[in-house]
A and B are shown apart, each in its own frame.
Chain A
Amino acid sequence: LTPPCTDARAASLWLNDDAVRSAIHAAPKQVIGEWTLCSNHLFYTRVVPSLIPTHKSLTQKHGLRALIYSGDHDMAVPHTGSEVWTSTKLDAPETAPWRPWMVASQVAGYVVDYGSLSYATVKGAGHMVPTNKPKESLTMFKRFLDGEP
């Protein structure tokens, strides 16, 4: 219901408050039960073993822009894996080399471009990057949306 090491009390209290449910037009607890951070109702099957061919198709055939980013202190989906597939499995040339990206004159992480797909790290962030690095995350998000380096 709650992943290890995670404090979900604020969200649980708020989303299980009848007044909140009513205010945000969500179904009441009497109908759909308690809100939990992660569901134990789901019986989910992973049927796609790899999304790398999909990334290639979306960015190289359909012209979408993509940003893959990693908080570099996350051990659940470590940056070491994302760096490997973005650098060696996309069959895309490196169009801008590995370099630091900055926020307020500080190194916020590193970034490398493979055509329309960029891979970036966020230094000192964990799995939930905006939680740990809110300012850097908003800056990264805005630059990506605006098509800036």
Chain B
Amino acid sequence: KQNDLIDAVPGFDGELPSKHYGGYIPVGTSGKRLYYYFVEAETDPSEAPVVLWLNGGPGCSSFDGFVYEHGPFNFRLADTKAGQGVKLTLNSYAWNKVANMLFLDSPAGVGLSYSEAGPRDYRTDDLVTAADAEEFLRKWFTRYTQFQSSRFFISGESYAGMYVPNLARAVVEGNEDGAEPYINIEGYLIGNAVTDTEVDGNALPLFAAGKSLISQAQYDTLWKRCDGGNFWNASAGCECDELLDDLVDAVSALNVYDVLEPCYLGPNYDDGEEDQDDEGEGWAKVQGAAKKKKQARLNSLQKALKSHGRKWPVVGSALPRVGERVHNWHTLG
């Protein structure tokens, strides 16, 4: 454990507000080594729960959560004399404000996790992934004995909708079978969780109609032609399948992960090789287009509000002072 203690983090100036640990734990017998980054809670880690975080994919690194979602730092690209660098500042909304956060790259072959046996160990499935992660957890709690009695939760998002329940089941069943050490699991949480082939497969048309990305008439036709909303297993070439293709075309220019956000590099960009110059130019273009779109939206919002004769505060205008009464302000909630 002491060998895994992180003294300082490049890009961050100052003292870490809690203890950080990083390192490998071997699982299986063929040389798989799973990487973890553990951030102790900023207040009273001995009383705070331990929460495991898993990103999805399958195949995506949990450093996505660490860097972009709820890790201890905000990461910012910065120009330096030597080129582009990364500056780290403390994240006011880091989840380790209230919990001991354990980020795990899983399965082997993802992120910083690997196998000494090489690619043959990167062939895996839901159950092997869960079994390896359970073994990791029991070894981790053996290394960090002071957290063995802590309340424990498993969390994640996306394809971790598969990882998390499978791992929770492995932990529960392992506990029942007497596996050591006992893991004091209390619950789990999952965001935008992949769960069920049929239900997930039927979700997009209703979402697209509900967000007005397609018309209600288009949705109604889809519903009828797809056997009353049975979208997920349409036979190739049938009318339902063709209409689903139309739907996908209609939304394909949007950012699939957030229909309100601009799409970095465009939705069809698939060049795995990174070219910083091209990326910068592409990003600047996307940002510029997004800025114009945003201004257009603001203009139309202001026109619409004027036509209703209301004095709504809009983005960029002065906010009301404390105690100042603003007509209908509270309905903005």
A: residues with CB less than 8 A from B are: 1-15, 17, 19-20, 23-27, 31-32, 35-52, 54-55, 57-58, 62, 64-71, 73-82, 84-85, 89, 105-107, 116, 124-132, 134-135, 137-138, 141-142, 144-145
Closest CB in chain B relative to A19 CB, distance in Å: 5
List chain B residues, Cβ under 8 A from A141.
70, 95, 98-99, 189
In contact, A44 and B261 (Cβ under 8 angstroms)? no
CB nearest neighbor in A for B176: A62
In contact, A75 and B254 (Cβ under 8 angstroms)? yes
In contact, A50 and B63 (Cβ under 8 angstroms)? no
CA distance A6 to B333 in the complex (A): 30
In contact, B168 and A58 (Cβ under 8 angstroms)? yes
List chain A residues, Cβ under 8 A from B97.
138, 142
In contact, B265 and A107 (Cβ under 8 angstroms)? no
The reply to whether the CB of B190 lies closer than 8 angstroms to some CB of chain A is: yes
CB nearest neighbor in B for A46: B126
In contact, B77 and A138 (Cβ under 8 angstroms)? no
CA distance A23 to B21 in the complex (A): 10
Other A-B pairs beyond A4-B255, A10-B75, A52-B199, 9, CB < 8 Å: A2-B272, A11-B68, A14-B67, A27-B112, A39-B111, A49-B196, A52-B195, A78-B206, A138-B93
A57-B169, A79-B207 are contacts. A39–B256 as well, Cβ < 8 Å? no
CB nearest neighbor in B for A12: B274
Q: Mark B119-133, 1 if CB is under 8 A from A, else 0.
A: 100111111010000
A interface majority secondary structure? mixed
Closest CB in chain A relative to B109 CB, distance in Å: 4
List chain A residues, Cβ under 8 A from B76.
10
List chain B residues, Cβ under 8 A from A12.
274
In contact, A32 and B251 (Cβ under 8 angstroms)? no
List chain A residues, Cβ under 8 A from B196.
49-52, 81, 85, 89
CB nearest neighbor in B for A48: B126
In contact, A24 and B203 (Cβ under 8 angstroms)? no
The reply to whether the CB of B259 lies closer than 8 angstroms to some CB of chain A is: yes
List chain B residues, Cβ under 8 A from A78.
203-204, 206-207
List chain A residues, Cβ under 8 A from B203.
77-82, 84
B: residues with CB less than 8 A from A are: 3-4, 6-11, 22-24, 33, 35, 37, 49, 51, 57-61, 63-65, 67-70, 75-77, 84-86, 91-95, 97-99, 107, 109-112, 114, 119, 122-127, 129, 151, 153, 157-158, 161-162, 165-166, 168-169, 172, 185-200, 202-204, 206-208, 210-211, 251, 254-261, 263-270, 272, 274, 276, 279, 283, 333
CB nearest neighbor in A for B254: A75
In contact, A51 and B98 (Cβ under 8 angstroms)? no
List chain B residues, Cβ under 8 A from A107.
333
In-complex Cβ contact of A5 among B107, B129, B168, B257 (8 A): B257
CA distance A16 to B11 in the complex (A): 13
List chain A residues, Cβ under 8 A from B279.
9
What are 15 A-B contacts defined by CB distance under 8 Å? A5-B266, A25-B23, A66-B189, A74-B259, A76-B256, A79-B192, A82-B203, A84-B199, A85-B199, A106-B333, A126-B257, A127-B256, A131-B69, A135-B93, A141-B99
CB nearest neighbor in B for A16: B274
CB nearest neighbor in A for B257: A127
A9-B77, A44-B58, A77-B194 are contacts. A23–B10 as well, Cβ < 8 Å? yes
In contact, A15 and B9 (Cβ under 8 angstroms)? no
In contact, A43 and B157 (Cβ under 8 angstroms)? no
In contact, B259 and A85 (Cβ under 8 angstroms)? no
In contact, A41 and B192 (Cβ under 8 angstroms)? no
CB nearest neighbor in A for B88: A14
In contact, B168 and A43 (Cβ under 8 angstroms)? no
Q: Choose among A5, A73, A80, A125 the residue with the greatest number of B CB atoms under 10 Å from its CB.
A: A5
Closest CB in chain A relative to B180 CB, distance in Å: 19
CA distance A7 to B283 in the complex (A): 9
CB nearest neighbor in A for B114: A32
In contact, A24 and B264 (Cβ under 8 angstroms)? no
CA distance A141 to B40 in the complex (A): 16
